Amino acid sequence: MRILNLGILAHVDAGKTSLTERLLYAAGVIDEVGRVDDGSTRTDTLALERQRGITIKSAVASFVIGEPADPAATTVNLIDTPGHPDFIAEVERVLSVLDGVVLVISAVEGVQAQTHVLMRALKRMRIPTLIFVNKIDRRGADCDRVLAQVADRLTPAAVPMGSVRLVGTRGADYLPGDLTSASTAARHAEVLAENDDVILAHLGDPRPIGPAELAGKLAAQTAQALVHPVFFGSAITGAGVGELMTGIRCLLPSASQQAGGPARGAVFKVERGAAGEKIAYVRMFTGTVRVRDRLPAGKVTAISVDGKPSESVRAGEIGRLWGLSSIHVGDPIGTPPIRTPSSAYHFAPPTLETIVVPRHKTDKGALYAALTQLAEQDPLINLRQAGDQTLLSLYGEVQKEVIQATLEADFGLDVSFQGSTVICVERPAGTGAAAEHMKAEGNPFLATVGLRVEPGELGSGVQFRLEIELGALPLAFVKAIEDTVRLTLRQGLSGWQVTDCVVALTESGYAPRQSHAHARFDKSMSSTGADFRGLVPLVVMEALRRAGTRVYEPVQRFHLSLPADAVGVMLPVLVRLGGIPETQVITGAAAAVDGLIPAARVPGVERQLPALTSGEGVLECVFDHYAQVRGPAPSRPRSDHNPLDRKEYLLRVTRGV
């Protein structure tokens, strides 16, 4: 049977979880459709999710489309993901294991800020995507307007698969398109011709391509993420859901089921069981993992597939693995697959940082242990210790509230948060080089390291290159140097992470394994990885000091909905706080303003918005880019041994050794 690992993505409140419920009901998995408002949905299992009516953690549910005896039947592993932007890290991890996606858009609200962010990532990763325009039965639904927004803001390669009758009423229904109709076939052919010369040659031909061939070409281009079929319906009434399920089966590509190859998979989620044990969610790309197999993270003691105990998890399947005590989100199983959760960010990293404070000082140790467990499940919270302060990286205030509630409910810890500060980044201003030589005065390490730091391309992160002769340095030492370079650059001259740079290893030297005559190996005479890990931070920071850095702050793209009569008082406030309004549209009594604003100024807008818009203003923000800070550059306290102060650093490191 075909297997399809399918993600359901959407802006918050577009009806994503409701659609998941309707799909499970239509497939016969559940007997009654749960409701988000009632807290009765199958995939929102956390008490906090039911209480708030939002998805916080991704959840997996399986169903079959078609009769099991039918060769075309498809087992769908459906992953319901969070829609709130504060939990975009959950979506980040899930994208790497998907064969296809249904992107849900509300027929009332249309394309929203998060919709644009999600579609941009899906196109960049070339993940086959169907679009489902939900809530066609709601007052204010406008399918033509949404289609225009999709074409304008998301993709011009959208293919409407039908039309809607009685839109905006309880009786709204979806009418699937008929490829035997000349007008429908012409619309499809016009979009498909952009990527197919055969279809392009037939445009305007009195004998156009037949319906079967056109349907086949639509499926082929959808599987290549070249076009995006658009369905319409209502998750509440079930209208259009049957046609969507047919589209899922016929248009999206199935998973590779190469069970005989080497085991290759990716861990996209880690949770704790009732006894505190780790449970790893694994998508297998090739090969098979069996109970009692030994993996680098531990011995597999149990496996669950489709919610049932199993002896193995095979290529194409998603399984839960027990026994992997040292597993983390993003770890590969076997050879890393092409897309892994630990690969380069597809979304922006967190832009806020906050200090977590226990109500009782005696809980400091327990708090750090609890946050370490949460960081296993969400590495992007970036737990770090600066002096006696415990800091977390966050996407927004809602995530802060969820962490606070989780610490209280799961660990019995009462905590508070200090005000959030914006996380900046540093980029090299120029090129700088430095070197430390073995046995030279002031170098207590048996190692020689020379490094050059220079600017890289925007969005490239940290790139490490070798400019020494191959074989001049053992690979283990090269790996120690690269790992330490990346670790050190988490804090630049001003304390922010250094990014978009190239670091080249220009010099190296080491003392081979040796000893006194007729004696055992003497570590004091031979270089070890610790020598390179101790020396590299001094060289990196000296090279960075000579290059100089500039500090960049995150800038958000905002969408502001407000009454038309409030635009005149709101725009000056936006400009005064550093906002740059780009477009404004007034439709009757309502208005919308889009533009850019520094992330640090967003709270100021949010505080004044209710009073200036009579409580009717709604502000949505998503990360757009980093911009150089004007004026004095902000800094943050260091949480390392401070290699910028050589004396302090050597005292700390040599004392630790």
Any idea which of 17-26, 43-52, 140-149, 289-298 has the lowest mean pLDDT? Answer: 43-52
CATH of the domain at 356: 3.30.70.870
pLDDT above 70 covers a percentage of the chain that reads 92
Residue that is last in its domain, among 334, 366, 381: 334
Q: Looking at 418-500, which runs of residues are DSSP E strands?
A: 421-422, 425-428, 432-436, 447-455, 462-466, 497-498
| Choice between 81 and 165, residue whose per-residue pLDDT is larger | 165
The answer on 372 and 283 residing in a single domain is no
Q: Is residue 438 part of a domain?
A: no
Q: Does the pLDDT value for residue 343 go beyond 50?
A: no
| Choice between 526 and 243, residue whose per-residue pLDDT is larger | 243
Task: Return the half-sphere exposure (C-beta side, CA atoms, 13 A cut-off) of residue 354.
Answer: 21
Q: Does the pLDDT value for residue 245 go beyond 80?
A: yes
Residues 36 and 44 sit within 8 Å (Cβ to Cβ): yes
How are the residues of the chain apportioned to helix, strand and coil, as percentages rounded to the nearest 5?
Answer: 30, 30, 40
As a three-state string, the secondary structure of 338-374 is CCCCCCCCCCCCCCEEEEEEECCHHHHHHHHHHHHHH
Structure tokens at 148: 């225009």
Q: Is the dihedral of CA 565, 568, 573, 574 positive or negative?
A: positive
The answer on 122 and 24 residing in a single domain is yes
| Choice between 432 and 115, residue whose per-residue pLDDT is larger | 432
Residues 6+ apart with CB under 8 A from 301: 291, 292, 322, 323
Residues 652 and 641 sit within 8 Å (Cβ to Cβ): yes
Q: Is the dihedral of CA 104, 106, 112, 116 positive or negative?
A: positive
CATH of the domain at 294: 2.40.30.10
The answer on 301 and 234 residing in a single domain is no
- Containing 389, the helix (H) or strand (E) segment is strand 389-394
Residue that is last in its domain, among 334, 360, 377: 334
Structure tokens at 316: 């194409």
Among the ranges 351-355, 368-372, 378-382, 489-493, which has the highest mean pLDDT value? Answer: 489-493
The answer on 281 and 247 residing in a single domain is no
Section 458-478 average pLDDT? 92
Structure tokens at 573: 């406030």
Maximum distance among all Cα pairs of the chain, rounded to whole angstroms: 94
> Got the DSSP string for 485-547?
HHHHTTS-TTSSEE-SEEEEEEEEEEPPS--STT----GGGS--HHHHHHHHHHHHHHHHHHH
Residues 493 and 428 sit within 8 Å (Cβ to Cβ): no
- Partners of 584 in the β-ladder: 593
Q: Helix 16-26 to helix 241-251 angle, to the nearest 10 degrees?
A: 80
Residues 6+ apart with CB under 8 A from 281: 60, 267, 268, 269, 270, 271, 318, 319, 320
Section 319-337 average pLDDT? 86
Residues 597 and 559 sit within 8 Å (Cβ to Cβ): no
Mapped onto helix, strand or coil, the DSSP state of residue 58 is coil
Residues 173 and 164 sit within 8 Å (Cβ to Cβ): yes
Any idea which of 80-84, 142-146, 213-217 has the lowest mean pLDDT? Answer: 80-84
Section 373-388 average pLDDT? 81
Task: Return the half-sphere exposure (C-beta side, CA atoms, 13 A cut-off) of residue 228.
Answer: 24
Section 213-240 average pLDDT? 95
| Choice between 639 and 598, residue whose per-residue pLDDT is larger | 598
Rounded to an integer, what distance in angstroms lies between the CA atom of residue 552 and that of residue 629? 5
> Interior CA angle at 260 toward 256 and 261, to 5°?
75
Residues 592 and 584 sit within 8 Å (Cβ to Cβ): yes
Residues 6+ apart with CB under 8 A from 640: 488, 490, 491, 537
Rounded to an integer, what distance in angstroms lies between the CA atom of residue 95 and that of residue 9? 10
Mapped onto helix, strand or coil, the DSSP state of residue 160 is strand
Q: Is residue 137 part of a domain?
A: yes
Rounded to an integer, what distance in angstroms lies between the CA atom of residue 477 and that of residue 538? 16
The answer on 284 and 396 residing in a single domain is no
CATH of the domain at 150: 3.40.50.300
What pLDDT sits at residue 346?
59
- Helices vs. strands in the chain: H and E counts, helices first: 16, 34
Closest CA to 501 of 534, 472, 543: 543
The answer on 362 and 327 residing in a single domain is no
| 573 CA to centre of own chain | 33
Section 408-427 average pLDDT? 91
The answer on 241 and 271 residing in a single domain is no
- Containing 461, the helix (H) or strand (E) segment is none
DSSP state of 194: G
Quickly state the pLDDT bin for 342 (edges 50, 70, 90). Answer: very low
The answer on 167 and 82 residing in a single domain is yes
Task: Return the half-sphere exposure (C-beta side, CA atoms, 13 A cut-off) of residue 257.
Answer: 10
- Residue 72, phi then psi, degrees to nearest 5: -90, 0
Q: Is residue 588 part of a domain?
A: yes
The answer on 87 and 47 residing in a single domain is yes
Quickly state the pLDDT bin for 448 (edges 50, 70, 90). Answer: very high
Distances (CA, A) of 8 to 82, 133, 157, 370: 9, 13, 20, 30
- Phi-psi region at 642: left, alpha or beta (left = phi > 0; alpha = psi -120 to 50): left
Distances (CA, A) of 172 to 165, 166, 239, 241, 245: 6, 5, 8, 13, 19
Rounded to an integer, what distance in angstroms lies between the CA atom of residue 412 and that of residue 358? 11
Residues 7 and 98 sit within 8 Å (Cβ to Cβ): yes
| Choice between 601 and 202, residue whose per-residue pLDDT is larger | 601
What pLDDT sits at residue 598?
94
Residue that is last in its domain, among 397, 423, 449: 423
At 536-545, the pLDDT tens digits run 999 999 999 9
What pLDDT sits at residue 341?
46
- State the total domains in the chain: 4
The answer on 275 and 230 residing in a single domain is no
Quickly state the pLDDT bin for 232 (edges 50, 70, 90). Answer: very high
Q: Where are the alpha helices (DSSP H) in 338-462?
A: 364-377, 397-411
The answer on 137 and 94 residing in a single domain is yes
Section 411-422 average pLDDT? 90
Q: Is residue 203 part of a domain?
A: no
What is the Cα gyration radius of the chain?
A: 28
- Phi-psi region at 623: left, alpha or beta (left = phi > 0; alpha = psi -120 to 50): beta
Strands 302-305 and 158-160: unpaired
The answer on 290 and 161 residing in a single domain is no
At 268-314, the pLDDT tens digits run 888 888 888 999 999 999 999 999 999 989 999 999 998 899 999 99
Q: Is residue 151 part of a domain?
A: yes
What pLDDT sits at residue 445?
94
CATH of the domain at 615: 3.30.70.240
Residues 354 and 400 sit within 8 Å (Cβ to Cβ): yes
Section 351-363 average pLDDT? 91
Question: 479-507: string of b/e by CB count within 10 Å (b at 16+)?
Answer: ebbbebbeebbbbbbbbbbbbbbbbbbbb
Can you tell me which residue has the tokens 């009195």?
A: 206
Quickly state the pLDDT bin for 85 (edges 50, 70, 90). Answer: confident
> Interior CA angle at 571 toward 566 and 577, to 5°?
130
Closest CA to 177 of 161, 159, 157: 161
Q: Is residue 185 part of a domain?
A: no
Average pLDDT taken over every residue of the chain: 88
Q: Is residue 219 part of a domain?
A: no
Range of the domain at 24: 2-177+225-251
Rounded to an integer, what distance in angstroms lies between the CA atom of residue 151 and that of residue 143? 12
Structure tokens at 256: 């590779």
Can you tell me which residue has the tokens 């400009």?
A: 575
Q: Is residue 463 part of a domain?
A: no
Closest CA to 81 of 32, 40, 118: 118
